[in-house]
Structure 1
Amino acid sequence: MPVHLFWGDDSAALERAVTKLIDSVVDPTWSSINLSRLDGGDSGQALQALEEARTPPFGSGDRLVLLQRSPFCNACPSELADRFDAALELIPDTSHLVLCNPAKPDGRLRTTKTLQKRIKAKLANEERFQLPAVWDGAGQRQLVERTASELALDLEPTAVDALIDAIGNDSARLSAELQKLALHASSTGSTTITADAVAALIDGQAANALQVGDALLEGQVGEAICRLDALIDAGEPALRIVATLTGQIRGWLWVSLMEQQGERDVAVIAKAAGIGNPKRIYVMRKQLQGRPPNRCLNLLGRLLEVEASLKRGAQPAAAFRDGLLGAAAGGGAQ
């Protein structure tokens, strides 16, 4: 197929798929001529990708044009869309135009509709690479199992659980750690990765921002701070933690307020709270039992103080301690 649409926020899995495609169609001897890597953030390079994709390969093997940050399915200008539509019919079977983007394609765009028609006609290929949410245990299990399968590795069921606890949905780290575990297994003459090997070789983070939020909701400020320290030590950006916690607590606040108003339809609540999976509402309801909306309001105010402190240059650990211990002293997280 001459056109490949790869999208999703799992950049590590997407990059593995790109590498696999390159290895399968491009002759290494001719890769300097037949392999191009371009950035669609530059409209000039996006046009160049269309021109190169229309050119047959030289020598043996196929030509592959990789366009990162492709504009063709997200906010594509009309002139660029016209050039895209015209180029699609002219790409030879021995050339591959690979469009990569972290965002989901905008189905309202003419270019996206054109691609979808070609995908249904099997004239183009689409692959999705989406990370599971940090609260999605089943999705994280599938991520671990799928990554291990791509790397041709065998995992004990308990090893899968250990990897989820240690790494969560960090796809890039998961791939690196699995390769390290594979080397360890081969050195011991084993073909299977065990939970003991995971415990011995991987520094378990055992914390994510949503677990911090769960601890705050329970009033366990000390536990929340310990988990925050683990995240910060692991290199997680402090402002990203604040953003995740703010979204989590704002969702709780919406659910709590709508429950107070008597709303029971989970789809309505999920839409109002900006939660993509309505099934998540059932879990949130259990978490919020017996807790008034004021607790969430207090925590949001404290997070705003933490954010302001971080932007003034405070050290992350100190900013979180000052803000959240203040919440404990004020009784809002108890």
Structure 2
Amino acid sequence: MTASAAPKAPVTPREQLLNRIQRDIPIVQRPYAQVAAEVGLSEAEALAILREVKAEGVLRQVSAIFDTRTLGYQSSLVAAVYDEDTLDAGAEIVNTHPGVSHNYKRNHDFNLWYTIAVPPESDLEAHVQKLHDLSGARLTRLMPTLHLFKIGVEFDMTGKEDWNAKSAPQYTSEQRNIGYAVTELDRAFVLEFQKDLPVTEEPYADACAALGLSIDEVAAHAQKMKAAGALRRVSAVFRHQKAGFTFNAMGVWAVPQDEVAVTGRKMAEFKAVSHCYLRPTYPEWPYTIFTMVHGRSKGEAFGKIKAIEEEVAPGIDHAILYSTKEYKKIRLEFYKPEFAEWARQYLGTEV
């Protein structure tokens, strides 16, 4: 297996556009005119392409991406063990929690993996323990982020990048601001910008009207939230499967503790890696660093993990966990009443 994704061919303006809008969409009155000019298209051409991929289901939404931790939410990846004959039913119970945004069956003894986030005043461990009890799990392990080396999903829509291509991570632990005091304007901004923004000439018009601010004032506040680490970016989010990335692989690595800082940073530089975290170990779980990649095939996804191994982690014990069933995948929505409703019903509290 080589480190090359495919034979090289010229990149089209359409492919450049689909790559470009995953990085960020500027907060200006007519952002698509600006983005289109960067890739050699007119505004009308760019909008026609984006409306087409939206209609096809490839483009899930255009919205802001916020940092849960900076907004005060507590979050964690959770790994759980279920008997095979109770797994589907257990996963459906986990899905009822409003803070569970991703939930997958994977090829491991830990056969259910989900992400959960709860509001600032909530007890994360209590929520996870209740899910453990309700869903009939045999073992549940919290795997929170101890250090964020990278987060940022960007699919190579050209199919022409090398599997070992590099770029600096857009968002890491250094941008996070734990303890940030969220303002009322921040909350209002989040409620408007977590919505699916329209693919129109002026996609921010409704948000500006709702906030009672001009586009320049909204842009200035967005920049403040970015500087604080609360807002990562406004960008397009694609559906993995519809975009052709039908396979994901979570490479987990037993990197020694005294090497995790250097190794994690090196792994995060791979463009193919969308997520790179340091997580806790347990007696039955020796892996410290998690790297997520996506591919158009199992061979491509495994090839990307192999490229990381050969360049950064030769000889390091590792495993590749891949999804065999998707139970839930949504965007987390902040400041929603469903959290309090779930807590009242299952925990007997408001949080």
- Which TM bucket (shorter chain)? under 0.3
Q: TM-score, normalised on structure 2?
A: 0.24
Between Structure 1 and Structure 2, the one with more strand by share is 2
Structure with the greater alpha carbon radius of gyration: 1
Q: TM-score, normalised on structure 1?
A: 0.25
